[in-house]
Amino acid sequence: MIRGLMLVALACLPVVAGCGSNQTLPSTTVQPTSQTSHHGLFIVSYTPDLGHVPLNRMQSWTLHVETAGGEAIGHAKITVSGGMPDMGHGLPTAPTTSYLGNGTYSVRGLEFTMPGRWLVTFTIAAAGQSDRTTFNLQLQ
């Protein structure tokens, strides 16, 4: 009986030991990685540079912005905000954007520090117009 309990305890040890680790597991996104902005002015898509959205790791995304008609938007002013609404806090970092050309931007300094639902909002100002889009991520 005691030997059986010890075997069960030893079998569970790797699971318990992994609970507090800083593993970077892929995410599952709730919404697609491309969507139309709130007022329909822009189509915005993102691609994580690592191929997935990890936890506890500084990362960059490539963002593409175009008009609703499919024309690339260059030299837009893009701000990044967001956080975990269910936990009541914002992003732990202050991501920045830079224009790469042909409607493509680099978003640097994103980090997601715990599993759960995260919102990432891009506010875009270009050619005298402004709009925003929010991506909903469920990170594991």
Could you give the domains of the chain?
21-139 (2.60.40.3340)
Residue 59 tokens read as 């990362």
Q: Mean pLDDT, to the nearest integer, of 86-104?
A: 97
The larger pLDDT score, comparing residue 15 to residue 47, is at 47
Contact assessment for residue 37 and residue 43, using Cβ atoms and an 8 Å cutoff:
yes
Give the position of tokens 């822009």.
42
Query: Is it the case that residue 19 has pLDDT exceeding 70?
Result: no
pLDDT at 21: 39
pLDDT at 28: 52
User: For 26-67, how does the pLDDT look when each residue is reduced to its tens digit (9 = 90+)?
Assistant: 555 445 899 999 999 999 999 999 999 999 999 999 999 999
Q: Mean pLDDT, to the nearest integer, of 13-26?
A: 40
Q: Which residues pair with 64 in a beta bridge?
A: 45, 104
Strands (E), 27-75: 28-29, 34-36, 42-48, 59-67
Report the share of the chain in percent with pLDDT over 70.
Answer: 78
What does pLDDT average to over the chain? 85
pLDDT at 52: 92
Q: Mean pLDDT, to the nearest integer, of 82-94?
A: 97
Query: Is it the case that residue 102 has pLDDT exceeding 90?
Result: yes
Tell me which residue of 139, 129, 11, 24 sits closest to 71, measured CA to CA. 129
Q: Which residues contact 29 (CB under 8 A, 6 or more apart)?
A: 53, 135, 136, 137, 138
Query: Is it the case that residue 111 has pLDDT exceeding 60?
Result: yes
pLDDT at 18: 39
